[in-house]
A and B are shown apart, each in its own frame.
Chain A
Amino acid sequence: MLEAKNLTKRYDDGLLALDNLNLEVKEGEIFCLFGANGAGKTTAINLFLNFIPPTEGTALINGIDVTKEPLKSKRYISFVSENVMLYDNFTAFQNLDYFAKLAGKRLLSKKDYRRALQKVGLEESAYTMRTKNYSKGMRQKLGIAILMIKDAPNIILDEPTAGLDPKAAAEFLDLLLEFKESGKAIFMSTHDILRAKYIADRIGFLKQGKLVMLRTQSELEGEDLSKLYLHYMHEHGEVN
């Protein structure tokens, strides 16, 4: 489970990037966080991953305070960024092996890696190819395979469908639903309103660091999420 309690971040230049964020992402739940560029989505992710310290409040992963026990908390989280960046001179196997070991999975074999790669739908011919020759979709798949190998109970995704073709995006969302069904808590920042509506259990709108709207899937039933988003932003003077 992921929890943010009064999570606030003010940068050294005075910018209030995140203002008193309170939210929970439970096991078997997908939470999608919307917001314009600079709204504070990535700041929230960086705080969960302990890449930056909070100004106030706490970020908890499975009840562990990420600032107090950063290494322990990272055992229970997997992260996939918008542009999955890998070691370009390594093959898929080599990348998987390295990140598996960093995650503490030392006993995995090539068979396990192959299974993960098959699961994410990466073509067999790409397994031994250097990842510098990979397309964005292929990188995304390998990123998901790394996530699967780590098998952490919580997943954080930063704009995961950005730049993916519709087929790759659909495949990706199917995998997310599978993760959800297996009981993982998924926290995802995105601009992809249509797809988010398809998979999200809850969505939140972040504006100037503040969580200004939180809805469940049932509350969104019959709503046009794009209109809601634009309307909401308009009300708050963001989008005209």
Chain B
Amino acid sequence: MLRDIIKKEILETITSPKFVFTFLLCTILILLSVVTGINNYKAEKQEYDAAFRLNRENLESQPSYMTLAGIGTKINKPPQVLSTIVSGIQQSVGRVATVNIAYDPNLEDSKYNSNPIFSVFGALDLSFIVKIVLSLFAILFTFDAIVGEKERGTLKLTLSNPVPRDRIILGKTIGGFISLLLPLIIPLMLGILILMISNISLSGEDWGRLGLIFLLFLFYLSVFFTLGLFVSTLTQKSSTSFLILLFIWVTFVTIIPKAAVMTASQVYPIPSVHEVTAEKDAYLQDIQTEAMEKRQSYSRENPFNVPQSDPEYQQKLDEYRENLRTYIEELQQDLTRRIDEKNAALEADYQSKKDKQRQYATNISRISPASALMFGSMRLAKTGINAHDSYLKTIKEYKREFTVWVNERMMQTINMQTGQQEGDTDLSTMPQHQFQPERLSDSISGALSDFIILIGFIIVFFVGAYVSFIRYDVR
């Protein structure tokens, strides 16, 4: 009997105009998003490769370590292959960081920054389609699942037969969900096919991540599907059911996530990046002044007064130079250490405040399944805040390595008399920026809470629908 109800539910849905409409729209949107995602990824990859080459050429053209230290090197963030499906925050955060000895590096030059029109409406990626369009379809498929049958009178006819109510609600859930998945799965398969033939190489781990993202999509749609079913068992008119669901949908998808961020910014205010940078700059200036004074003071206290007629003049001059070099090197190291310590302290304080604010916003916004979907899918696609922070952290670590290296090279090659570099700039020993992306197991444990939240919603709504339908007044 359950099979008959499921079959009927599928047949009833796929013969309805709303199914045809949904199927066509899903096909168009999903394929469009996948193709757009692939094209964007390819363009970003080309841009990344070009920027990488350009940076190398730029480094090689630097006349000295001094200019290299000032101009620095550029770290270009490589595009993530799964951004074709979940673009996450990749478009709105920077892609390039300049690493030099002076400034604290930050990722700048986002795609949205370079062309603000993109930020007006955001990306039309698959996660957006699932979050907005398909969740709305899930509601459209279920808002009248029970109440509609009551209005049409078919529920009375059905229940005049020896059919247990739990079979009906179970059959409606399974059949309805399969009907909802059909317009999603077919274009999705086509999308994957396009992905496979588009010369974008996905590793085994990427496929695993993709599978988990799709699983998260399914759970998310199940939340709205079971919610629709639940509300349709609570109401006596399908129009009321639809209005209630629309209100909940708007609250879940747009209001809660935005309100959470706003509330967090009020509860945990953080200084702006400019304030932090200004503080760092002020300290740097103090340190530079101090360095200047110390060097002048050293020169005053240790003058080189050996006459050229002295037979050991050259030897003493070399000794003097060596002492001066050692002094400057030590001074430089000390100052660099102090700048780094100060910067690290300021950064840690800023980061801690930011983390608190973010944690608060994340926790509140997870009341909404839409937030759970976004956080979970971004974590799995490595396009979220977490991935961005990890990447930025490695750049900051790299800045320290780069600074130590370039300072050493400057000291080793500088001619104290002329102040000019001796010999060519050798980049072969220059440290390279390394980034180890998050392992799949870590991503899964990071997204686990989002899976649990969505499953929790599904259980609550389904049990609600089940209990409510058992008591439903069919008159």
Q: Residues of A with Cβ closer than 8 Å to B? A: 42, 46, 49, 51-52, 71-72, 74-75, 77-79, 81, 83-90, 94, 98-99, 101-104, 130, 146, 150, 156
Contact = CB atoms under 8 A, between A and B. Distances in A.
A116 to B, nearest CB: 16
Interface in B4-48: 4, 8, 11-12, 15-16
Contacts, number: 72
8 contacts: A72-B162, A81-B156, A83-B153, A87-B154, A88-B152, A89-B11, A98-B8, A102-B1
Contacts of B158: 99, 102
B193 interface: no
Contacts of A156: 160
A104 B162 contact: yes
Nearest to A48: B160
Given A52-B475, A75-B162, A81 B153 contact: yes
A42 B475 CA distance: 9
Interface string B117-161: 000000000000000000000000000000000001110111111
**Most chain-A CB neighbours within 10 Å: which of B157, B160, B161?**
B160
B161 A51 contact: no
Interface in B155-179: 156-164
Contacts of B8: 87, 98
Contacts of B12: 87, 89-90
A85 B475 contact: no
A61 B15 CA distance: 37
Contacts of B474: 51
A72 B164 CA distance: 11
Given A51-B156, A81-B156, A85-B157, A103 B162 contact: yes
B15 A78 contact: no
Contact of B161 (A42, A74, A81, A86): A74
A68 B63 CA distance: 96
Interface centre among A49, A74, A78, A87 (most CB of B within 10 A): A87
Nearest to B151: A85
Contact of A90 (B11, B156, B157, B159): B11
Contacts of A42: 475
B422 interface: no
B159 A49 contact: yes
Contacts of A86: 154, 157
B153 A102 contact: no
Interface residues of B, number: 22
Nearest to B154: A85
A53 B159 CA distance: 14
B163 A102 contact: yes
Given A52-B473, A90-B15, A102 B4 contact: yes
A74 B474 CA distance: 15
Contacts of B1: 101-102
A150 B161 contact: yes
B156 A79 contact: yes
A151 to B, nearest CB: 13
Contacts of A90: 11-12, 15
Contact of B4 (A78, A85, A87, A101): A101
Contacts of A150: 161
A105 B80 CA distance: 57
B154 A74 contact: no
Contacts of A74: 160-163
A84 B160 CA distance: 13
Nearest to B163: A102
B160 A77 contact: yes
Contacts of A79: 156-157, 160
A111 to B, nearest CB: 20
A77 B161 CA distance: 8
Contacts of A146: 157
B14 to A, nearest CB: 9
Interface string B463-475: 0000000000111
A85 B153 contact: yes
A170 B324 CA distance: 121
Contacts of B15: 89-90, 130
Contacts of A83: 153
Interface in B262-293: none
Q: Name the 3 nearest CB pairs between A and B, nearest first.
A: A85-B153, A79-B160, A102-B161
Given A51-B156, A81-B156, A85-B152, A99 B475 contact: no
Contacts of B11: 89-90, 94
Contacts of B159: 49, 51
A187 to B, nearest CB: 13
Contact of B162 (A71, A84, A130): A71
B210 to A, nearest CB: 35
Contacts of A75: 162
Contact of A46 (B152, B161, B475): B475
A88 B154 CA distance: 10
Contacts of A77: 160
B157 A81 contact: yes
A87 B9 CA distance: 10
A113 to B, nearest CB: 15
B389 to A, nearest CB: 52
B6 to A, nearest CB: 11
A230 to B, nearest CB: 29
B4 A98 contact: yes
A86 to B, nearest CB: 7
Nearest to A98: B8
Contacts of A89: 11-12, 15-16
Interface string B391-425: 00000000000000000000000000000000000
Contacts of B162: 71-72, 74-75, 102-104
A104 B162 CA distance: 8
Contacts of A51: 156, 159, 473-475
Contacts of B156: 49, 51, 79, 81, 85
B218 to A, nearest CB: 26
A74 B162 CA distance: 5
